[in-house]
Structure 1
Amino acid sequence: MDFASYHLWSQFEPALGWEDTHCQMQRGWRSTLDTKQFESISTPLAATIWQKVGKLAQQGVYEFHQDPLLLKHPRGCERVADRLYLYYELAAIRDRVMQILRQYQAQPYLLGQEMLLLNRGDEPLPPPIEIRVGDDTFQLFAAFDCVVRAVLPSPGSVTIDRDKIHIIDFKTGLADFDRRQADVYLLAGSYLYPDCELVASFYNLETMTSSEPITATPDRLTQIAQKLAQIAKLHQQQLREYQLDPDCFDRLFPAHPGTHCRACRFNYRCAYAVGC
């Protein structure tokens, strides 16, 4: 069955403002290399640091709420760091994550919330959700970071709406939030929590900032499902065409070379890579 996810959507179409650095050939390399080949490709150091900080920060939040006494303990951050083996990481990673842990301990964003789900961030993907749109059916992969039974209050607000399910995605760094990711989560949530009103938002653990709550009407959810069905079908068509004729790779997955090639993990094997 065809499949889709926010990650696949972002590989097809760049986020607003990132058009100049988007390259379809990256999607081609990711999709056509076998697992062993893909895993053997080294990731640029900057990307490794960015990924590790995000994963470790989410794991730290998980550890705090697994043992809430650590939120009040004077050495709570150090004990969480021990559980994460943080002291074995590069200093650039360790220092950033420790700062995030200290900030979270001082202002725990999820404290007091009724959590239905809190992922550590290193679990396998959950089972896909089968989505039907007209005559099209595809599997949707969506992994939530956190789900609570209430909308978290906006800054300055003292009220909490207990009738809603709130899907929260954690971020780090300075990247802008991508509305499409929230849309995918809301679509998945509409199947997992069909009788509930849904809202999604992003929370940056590093900057301690939250996006505005994001909602979607039934019509909007249908549009999202149609878009993902289109992407899922096209992606599989391209893979089948490549399997029949590997020489058409460049046409199916056109390159967009530029200075961003230096940060691409496939630049060593790409004939179009610039400045590498």
Structure 2
Amino acid sequence: MEFASYHLWSQFEPAIGWEDTHCQMQRGLRWTQPARSDDQPPPVTETIWQKVGKLAQQGVYEFHQDPLLLKHPSGCERVADRLYLYYEIATIRDRVMQILRQYQADPWLLDRDILVLNRGDEPIPPPIVLEVDGYQFHLLAAFDCIVKSIDNNIHIIDFKTGLAAPDLRQAEVYLLACTYLYPDRTPVASFYNLETMTSSQLITATDESLAQTARKLAQIAKLHQQQRQAYQTNMDCFDRLFPPHPGTHCRWCPVNYRCDYSTTR
């Protein structure tokens, strides 16, 4: 069955402000041309800010797996050991250690009723079956954290780092997913920046906005499948189905080693 997710949506249409770095060919290489067994990708395919975000989330998870670490004088160092943080470059190590120290000093999730807290490297969660105008597809949604709010409803929290503004589409997809996973509760969502220790305003959704998000995801799932099938039928049309947009951003592309248009080749 076809699928959609926030991640796939972002591969179709960039977030506001990221239009100049968006490349459809990256999506094409990811989904129509799997790497050969003899492909040798570069050793680092993540940017510094991506690595910081991943390790910061893992650090929060480790603290709550063993809450005694939140009070231990060497708690941050022990979490850093579990993350193999000392093997990272200094820029990453220092930023993540600062986040760990800040969180230990103010563990704002400690008194929350946590329903879901993911480490960030779990397998893809079971899909949610959605039907829009007779068209069925799978919705994939991986949550960072879900807590029970004071009024016994659902509060989705997505962790962020860095200074870039969060993409509200991510919250829209999560709100839609939660209406299926927790049908008897009203969800709200927010973004929490682990580096700046700031939270966004609460994000809510109406029935109409949820329906609009579902229609958009259905459109993406259908078009994505059609493009993949078109490529299998005529492999010469790859560049037209997934047009390249090379530039300095190629250096951060995880599939640049397989792209004929990459400026890093």
- Which TM-score bucket, shorter chain as reference? over 0.9
Q: Is the 8 A contact 1:44 1:263 kept in 2?
A: no
**Any idea what SS the aligned residue of 2:196 has?**
coil
Q: Give 2:182's aligned residue.
A: 193
1:39 Cα deviation from its structure 2 partner:
7.9
**Any idea what SS the aligned residue of 2:139 has?**
strand
Structure 1 residues 213, 232: closer, same or farther in 2, change over 3 A?
Answer: same
**Any idea what SS the aligned residue of 2:130 has?**
strand
Q: Is the 8 A contact 1:43 1:265 kept in 2?
A: no
Q: Is the 8 A contact 1:171 1:204 kept in 2?
A: yes
Q: Which moved more, 1:130-139 or 1:76-85?
A: 76-85
TM-score for the superposition, normalised by structure 2: 0.94
- The CA distance in 2 between the partners of 1:265 and 1:207, in whole Å, is 27
**Any idea what SS the aligned residue of 1:199 has?**
strand
Q: Which moved more, 1:182-191 or 1:57-66?
A: 57-66
**Any idea what SS the aligned residue of 1:117 has?**
strand
1:253 to 242, 252, 256: 242
2:208 to 195, 199, 219: 219
Instruction: Give the letter aligned to residue 9 of structure 2.
Output: W
1:40 Cα deviation from its structure 2 partner:
4.1
1:41 Cα deviation from its structure 2 partner:
2.5
For the aligned residue pairs, the C-alpha RMSD in angstroms reads: 1.9
1:241 Cα deviation from its structure 2 partner:
0.5
**Any idea what SS the aligned residue of 1:102 has?**
helix
Q: Give 2:23's aligned residue.
A: 23
| Structure 1: gaps (5+ residues) | 151-160
Q: Which moved more, 1:10-19 or 1:67-76?
A: 67-76
Structure 1 residues 145, 104: closer, same or farther in 2, change over 3 A?
Answer: same
1:32-51 map, 5 Å: 32-34=32-34, 40-42=40-42, 47-51=46-50
1:1-276 map, 5 Å: 1-34=1-34, 40-42=40-42, 47-150=46-149, 161-274=150-263
- The CA distance in 2 between the partners of 1:31 and 1:92, in whole Å, is 32
- The CA distance in 2 between the partners of 1:216 and 1:2, in whole Å, is 25
Q: Is the 8 A contact 1:44 1:264 kept in 2?
A: no
TM-score for the superposition, normalised by structure 1: 0.90
Structure 1 residues 265, 98: closer, same or farther in 2, change over 3 A?
Answer: same
Q: Is the 8 A contact 1:3 1:139 kept in 2?
A: yes
Instruction: Give the letter aligned to residue 199 of structure 1.
Output: V
Structure 1 residues 183, 235: closer, same or farther in 2, change over 3 A?
Answer: same
- The CA distance in 1 between the partners of 2:69 and 2:255, in whole Å, is 42
- The CA distance in 2 between the partners of 1:18 and 1:38, in whole Å, is 33
- The CA distance in 2 between the partners of 1:163 and 1:194, in whole Å, is 13
